[in-house]
């Protein structure tokens, strides 16, 4: 009955969403390409409403399209089963939601978030000082922990690529993947990167160009500083960063698909606690930390990315939307990603990830075609060479304020996102070989991130150096906000209006693909073991993320909350080491006598070298 009622509601919603998308799209597209005509008709916050309506109704319509065959994904024990959502009737939302929540993993994160904002309102200065002091101590005194854990993660990933354990098929030798490889890559990449790649793509290299890393010994705003800037941007967003997801996600995947452990972040402790011990206090603490890190990290990202989107609206149409506009943007995002999360992996999350990756590739191609290709290729190639030759030196840079503020902060941020990204990766990886998982998460996604930063960052540097666009002056005029960095760059390019339109779409879609995944993951972690989250659970956590983002915009404290969330990267850096020890013990105990990649290649060459071996 509940499924039939849900189908009716979704059908009615689709019939309303499609014309709304078409009508708002006509106005928005016309406004981009004929602003002098349409600008006199629509002004002020109307552009924000129409832009959100266009992007939101289009994505929601895609999310609500039925699958063929419908709901067959719930019938088999793969990723759709692990990430399923139970659709209860509307009147059972509250009762079904409350009855399914784990009192610890649900109640503690909510209480911690409420306490944080209460402290922020009652004693804002003391709260900021406390969080800042904790961050300074962690990043300055324990920088060796983050640097060492991340380097070990890269080394472990490399070993999985070439070693014997890479041949392990998650779920057993007969397990089949639940998704095609392009779909698998799209969901892994878009869930784990969020809009940070759009936010920092044109900005980070510029900051390093203006204030180069001390270890490079180059002069600010020099040609050498441009290469160093691209090198360090690539380092912070490349294989090291994505390795944090692998060392958390792969242990969850192995113990879930091979050993029958539940889909929980605390599953990384299976070798030490046993499957039955995952209901204990220490395991619950790990899941609570994962929920807080996810909500804090994603909510602050929603708030900061909202500021970037609004900066684009202001840049294009010269209108200020104010605080009300910011809240309106957050509310629109909440509706979009909650619908996507509620629709499930097979529908909204998978489809929007595909749209996201396609738009990302199209934007990058257009930027390469119309941008300063010569500078991007030359400086990018030199930066890649430096990245490869100086990788170890950058990974173990001596302690300094710069290293703490940039490299260690970035590593902590990636580790704090690793629980939700890793759990999602684990669910998707059934039927994949360990080698494929390692290649996808570390090599393929790292390459995509690096190429983006070389392309967009290189374009921004080329324009800054030539005077074609003074991006650093625009950032300074905006009070130091990185959110405005991309818009002067795009305005200086041919096809600027098309690129700006695609850029704003990327901001929305990238944020949706991470927020819908985080909403689903948190709903699973907060629900009792062995019970699927309900539509009410999705709605609660989706709205809570939006409420936290709105509170950040209204009362401030975004930097403090982000810092508090990033601080959880410390415990998860330690837990990643524990997870690797446990996974290695499990591999040695259960996965003996597996051939390495070298041995497999040698066997292929030997077979082909025999007479008739190529027949």
pLDDT at 67 over 80: no
Write the pLDDT tens digit of every residue in 492-527: 999 888 888 888 888 889 889 988 999 999 999 998
Backbone torsions φ then ψ of 10, nearest 5 degrees: -65, -40
Give mean pLDDT, residues 285-296: 89
Q: How far does CA 594 lie from the centroid of its chain?
A: 33
| Both structure tokens of 185 | 């890559």
Quickly state the pLDDT bin for 273 (edges 50, 70, 90). Answer: very high
Average pLDDT, the chain: 85
Quickly state the pLDDT bin for 474 (edges 50, 70, 90). Answer: confident
| Both structure tokens of 141 | 């005194």
Give mean pLDDT, residues 109-117: 85
Give mean pLDDT, residues 96-124: 83
pLDDT at 316 over 50: yes
73-583: CATH topology: Sodium/glucose cotransporter (1.20.1730)
Residues 244, 573: Cα–Cα separation, whole Å? 8
Quickly state the pLDDT bin for 435 (edges 50, 70, 90). Answer: very high
| 457 in Cβ contact with 230 (< 8 Å) | yes
| Both structure tokens of 311 | 């900066």
Q: Residue 113 has what pLDDT?
A: 83
Q: Residue 472 has what pLDDT?
A: 92
Question: Looking at 15-29, 156-170, 294-308, 588-602, which range is the least confident one?
Answer: 588-602
Quickly state the pLDDT bin for 74 (edges 50, 70, 90). Answer: very low
| 149 in Cβ contact with 404 (< 8 Å) | no
Residues 512, 505: Cα–Cα separation, whole Å? 11
Whole-model pTM?
0.90
Q: Residue 27 has what pLDDT?
A: 82
- E-assigned strands of 469-608? none
Q: Residue 332 has what pLDDT?
A: 86
Q: How far does CA 7 lie from the centroid of its chain?
A: 30
Q: Residue 395 has what pLDDT?
A: 95
Q: Residue 219 has what pLDDT?
A: 93
Write the pLDDT tens digit of every residue in 318-371: 666 666 777 888 888 899 999 999 888 888 899 999 999 999 999 999 999 999
| 2 in Cβ contact with 93 (< 8 Å) | no
Question: Looking at 79-93, 446-460, 488-502, which range is the least confident one?
Answer: 79-93
| Both structure tokens of 463 | 């324009």
Residues 167, 438: Cα–Cα separation, whole Å? 11
Q: Residue 70 has what pLDDT?
A: 45
**Residue 269: partners with Cβ closer than 8 Å, 6 or more residues away:** 277, 278, 282, 283, 286, 578, 579, 582
Question: Looking at 29-43, 197-211, 462-476, 530-544, which range is the least confident one?
Answer: 29-43
Q: Which of 457, 396, 408 is nearest to 215 (CA)?
A: 396
Write the pLDDT tens digit of every residue in 138-160: 888 889 999 999 999 999 999 99
Residues 161, 164: Cα–Cα separation, whole Å? 9
Angle at 46 between CA 511 and CA 548, to 5 degrees: 35
Q: Facing residues of 71 across strands?
A: none
Tokens 């995002």, residue? 333
**For the chain, what are the domain ranges?**
73-583
Give mean pLDDT, residues 565-594: 88
Give me the percent of the chain exceeding a pLDDT of 70.
87
Side-chain half-sphere CA neighbours of 272 within 13 A: 16
Residues 167, 160: Cα–Cα separation, whole Å? 9
User: CA 437 → CA 368, 403, 553, 594, 604, distances in Å?
Assistant: 29, 30, 38, 17, 22
169 or 80, which is more confident: 169
Q: Residue 201 has what pLDDT?
A: 86
């Amino acid at each position: 009955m509940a499924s039939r009622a849900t189908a009716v509601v979704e059908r009615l919603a689709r019939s309303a969403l499609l014309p709304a998308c078409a009508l708002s799209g006509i106005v928005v597209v016309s406004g981009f390409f004929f602003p002098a005509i349409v600008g006199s008709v629509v002004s002020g916050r109307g552009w924000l409403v129409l832009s959100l309506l266009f992007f939101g109704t289009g994505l929601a319509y895609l999310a609500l399209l039925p699958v063929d065959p419908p709901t067959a994904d719930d019938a088999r024990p793969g990723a759709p089963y692990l990430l399923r959502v139970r659709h209860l009737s509307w009147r059972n939302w509250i009762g079904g939601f409350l009855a399914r929540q784990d009192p610890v993993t649900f109640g503690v994160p909510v209480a911690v978030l409420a306490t944080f904002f209460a402290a922020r309102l009652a004693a804002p200065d003391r709260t900021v000082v406390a969080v800042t002091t904790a961050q300074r101590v962690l990043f300055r005194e324990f920088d060796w922990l983050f640097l060492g854990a991340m380097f070990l993660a890269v080394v472990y990933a490399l070993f999985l690529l070439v070693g014997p354990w890479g041949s392990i098929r998650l779920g057993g030798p007969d397990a089949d993947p639940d998704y095609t490889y392009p779909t698998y890559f799209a969901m892994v990449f878009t869930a784990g990167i969020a809009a940070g790649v759009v936010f920092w793509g044109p900005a980070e290299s510029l900051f390093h160009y203006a204030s180069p890393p001390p270890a490079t010994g180059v002069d600010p705003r020099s040609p050498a500083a441009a290469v160093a800037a691209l090198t360090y941007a690539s380092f912070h967003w490349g294989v090291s960063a994505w390795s944090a997801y692998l060392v958390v996600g792969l242990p969850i995947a192995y113990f879930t698909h091979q050993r029958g452990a539940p889909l929980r972040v605390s599953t990384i402790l299976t070798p030490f606690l046993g499957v039955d011990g995952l209901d204990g206090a220490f395991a619950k603490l790990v899941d609570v930390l994962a929920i807080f890190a996810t909500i804090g990290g994603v909510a602050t990202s929603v708030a900061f990315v909202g500021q970037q989107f609004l900066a684009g609206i202001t840049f294009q149409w010269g209108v200020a939307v104010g605080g009300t506009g910011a809240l309106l943007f957050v509310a629109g995002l909440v509706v979009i990603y909650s619908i996507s999360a509620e629709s499930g992996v097979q529908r909204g999350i998978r489809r929007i990830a595909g749209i996201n990756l396609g738009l990302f590739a199209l934007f990058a191609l257009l930027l390469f075609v119309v941008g300063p290709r010569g500078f991007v290729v030359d400086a990018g190639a030199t930066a890649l060479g430096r990245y490869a030759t100086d990788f170890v030196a950058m990974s173990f840079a001596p302690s300094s304020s710069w290293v703490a503020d940039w490299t260690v902060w970035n590593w902590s941020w990636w580790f704090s996102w690793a629980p939700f990204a890793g759990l999602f990766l684990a669910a998707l990886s059934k039927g994949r070989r360990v080698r494929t998982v390692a290649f996808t998460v570390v090599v393929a996604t790292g390459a995509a991130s690096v190429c983006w930063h070389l392309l967009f960052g290189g374009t921004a540097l080329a324009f800054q150096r030539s005077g074609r666009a003074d991006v650093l002056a625009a950032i300074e005029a905006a009070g130091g906000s990185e959110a405005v960095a991309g818009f002067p760059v795009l305005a200086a390019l041919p096809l600027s209006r098309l690129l700006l339109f695609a850029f704003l779409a990327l901001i929305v879609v990238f944020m949706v693909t991470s927020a819908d995944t985080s909403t689903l993951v948190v709903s699973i972690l907060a629900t009792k073991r062995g019970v699927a989250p309900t539509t009410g659970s999705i709605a609660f956590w989706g709205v809570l993320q939006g409420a936290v983002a709105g509170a950040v915009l209204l009362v401030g404290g975004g930097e403090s909350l982000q810092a508090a969330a990033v601080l959880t990267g410390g415990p998860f850096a330690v837990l990643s080491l524990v997870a690797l020890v446990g996974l290695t013990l499990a591999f040695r105990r259960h996965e003996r006598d597996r051939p390495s990649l070298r041995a497999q290649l040698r066997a292929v060459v030997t077979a082909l070298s025999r007479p008739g071996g190529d027949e």
